[in-house]
Amino acid sequence: MNGKHLALAVGLFVLGVAVGVVAATGSKVEKGMYAGQSPKDAAAALLTAAQQQAGKGSWENIAVGRVWYLSGDKAQGQAIFDRVFAGKVKKSDFMRLGRVYMEAKEWDKAKAAFEKALADDPKDEGNLSEVGAWYNLHGDRATAEAYFDRAFSRKPDEVWYTVNAAGSYVGVKPQ
């Protein structure tokens, strides 16, 4: 058994133990799920509980998928994202997904999610200014400024939009 297969087997075992612990306790968090556990085992057990707690909430499921994705288990995180986006989504869900991809330093995926968010809600000035900032930070000043123009034409006095735009010119990420 090579190293990759061994790592996969161990990962599946850990996930199985986490699922077993959560199945026995439902979606309640109990100390044994994390206390004395390795960080990876504690996270797996807690994320399994969080997945049950999230129910059908899109924001909540994206948050669970985010932790899986950013912790290195991109397949598990992406599977959760795929389930969320296979159903009914809120306008803000694509922005949330784009932010996860930004944290993962995956600009192409983030850009696609951001563009979908803007297509779903083209008048959201906050999204326009944030997405513009991300474009500016990735060297596409023309697209950034087109989004800034649209945002500021609707709300020229909104501090958060102005701060996001300003920061993008000096390497500061939107928050």
- 3-state SS of the chain? CCHHHHHHHHHHHHHHHHHHHHHHHCCCCCHHHCCCCCHHHHHHHHHHHHHHHHCCCHHHHHHHHHHHHHCCCHHHHHHHHHHHHHCCCCCCHHHHHHHHHHHCCCHHHHHHHHHHHHHHCCCCHHHHHHHHHHHHHCCCHHHHHHHHHHHHHHCCCCHHHHHHHHHHHCCCCCC
Rg (the chain; Cα; Å): 19
Q: Taking a C-beta distance cutoff of 8 angstroms, is the pair 131, 162 a contact?
A: no
pLDDT value, residue 4: 59
Which residue, chain included where needed, has tokens 């960080």? 39
Residue type, position 67, single letter: V
The structure's pTM equals: 0.81
Q: What is the mean pLDDT for each group of 10 consecutive residues in the chain (175 residues)? A: 52 49 63 94 95 95 97 97 94 96 98 97 94 97 97 94 96 94
Q: How far apart are CA 26 and CA 41, in angstroms?
A: 17
Which residue, chain included where needed, has tokens 């500021």? 152
Task: Return the number of other C-beta atoms located less than 10 Å from residue 117's C-beta.
Answer: 24
Q: Taking a C-beta distance cutoff of 8 angstroms, is the pair 144, 161 a contact?
A: no
